[in-house]
Amino acid sequence: MASYKYHIASKQNRNRTKSRRFLEGDIVKTKTLATAAGIAIAGTMLFSQPAAKNEDGPLLMRDESKIMTYIAERDYKEDIKRLYDAARGYFKNGRWEIRRMESLQKDYNRILRRYGKYETVDGIPESVIELLPMVKEISNAYGVDPYLTAGIITAESYGNVYAVHISHRRKTEESLGLMQVNTYAHQLPPELMQKIFEPSFNVMIGTSIVKSCLKKAGGNERMAARFFNKGENVANSPRIAMRDSYAKRVMEYREKFMRLDSGGSISATE
């Protein structure tokens, strides 16, 4: 009898618990619906307002996509700044902590993909197109074809500011930044090495190397690209000359940048 009464009591308790949970669920659903309704009303109020100028931000426009683009660009810049702040702590005793920079390189790639900077126009990533004004200014100062410089950047790093490559031949040989400046062939003092991942400084060093390569190649841009990639001695070997895929890729990118900048026919791709 006692067991039967206990069974009845337990069943009643379970029923009360279920009722309470259903009630709590209804309350949560009601709060969620109220929040969603509030957001919808706020959005309607925002986009029904006439355009008004805001000194600290965009115009309050009826075109929602423009506002979302503004927000995405702001978030992109904030994410990039966080990486830049983190990178400054990875330079110690005159050298970069390469393993940490490799991790940062992956983080940068993820950010580029998240914000669509890897989307291409005629095979050129948005991340490099955005650098073109700066590349033109530096290249013109050095007397180098800016489209050649942009082609080398695309072939070397695909626009990743924190691109890192470690040589399998020498432990101390690393290629860093947009133009993959080789730290073994071009040894820099610590105060300059600390700036190697800054886009403008990296492009300045890389463009000075391109100028030297052009001089050695007698102005031949394709040969200069080969020198930039392999060095003069290696690049002149028959085996390397036959497998000239790197220089060919650079020159193809160069032509695409010229078309893009002249407003020619550009096909949008993924």
User: Domain tally for the chain?
Assistant: 1
Residues of the chain with pLDDT > 90, as a percent, come to 45
pLDDT score of 7:
46
| pTM > 0.85 | no
Give residue 102's domain range. Answer: 64-261
Q: What is the Cα–Cα distance from 58 to 77, expressed in whole angstroms? A: 16
pLDDT score of 173:
78
Specify if 189 maps to a domain: yes
The mean pLDDT value of the chain amounts to 77
Distance of CA 98 to the CA centre of its chain: 18
Render 77-107 in DSSP notation, one character per residue: HHHHHHHHHHHGGGEETTEE-HHHHHHHHHH
pLDDT score of 33:
41
Specify if 57 maps to a domain: no
Instruction: Say yes or no to pLDDT of 22 above 60.
Output: no
Interval 231-243 mean pLDDT:
61
Radius of gyration over every alpha carbon of the chain, rounded to an integer in angstroms:
29
pLDDT of 73-85, one tens digit each? 888 889 989 999 9
Residue 213's nearest CA partner among 238, 185, 191, 239 is 185
Specify if 270 maps to a domain: no
Specify if 11 maps to a domain: no
What CATH number does residue 161 fall under?
1.10.530.10
pLDDT score of 267:
41
Specify if 135 maps to a domain: yes
Q: What is the Cα–Cα distance from 163 to 180, expressed in whole angstroms? A: 7
pLDDT of 181-214, one tens digit each? 998 888 889 999 999 999 999 999 999 999 999 9
pLDDT score of 170:
65
Instruction: Say yes or no to pLDDT of 62 above 70.
Output: no
Specify if 3 maps to a domain: no
Specify if 158 maps to a domain: yes
Instruction: Say yes or no to pLDDT of 244 above 90.
Output: no
Instruction: Say yes or no to pLDDT of 111 above 70.
Output: yes
Beta strands 95-96 and 174-176: pairing type?
unpaired
Q: Mean pLDDT lowest for which of 48-52, 80-84, 147-151, 238-242?
A: 48-52
Specify if 101 maps to a domain: yes
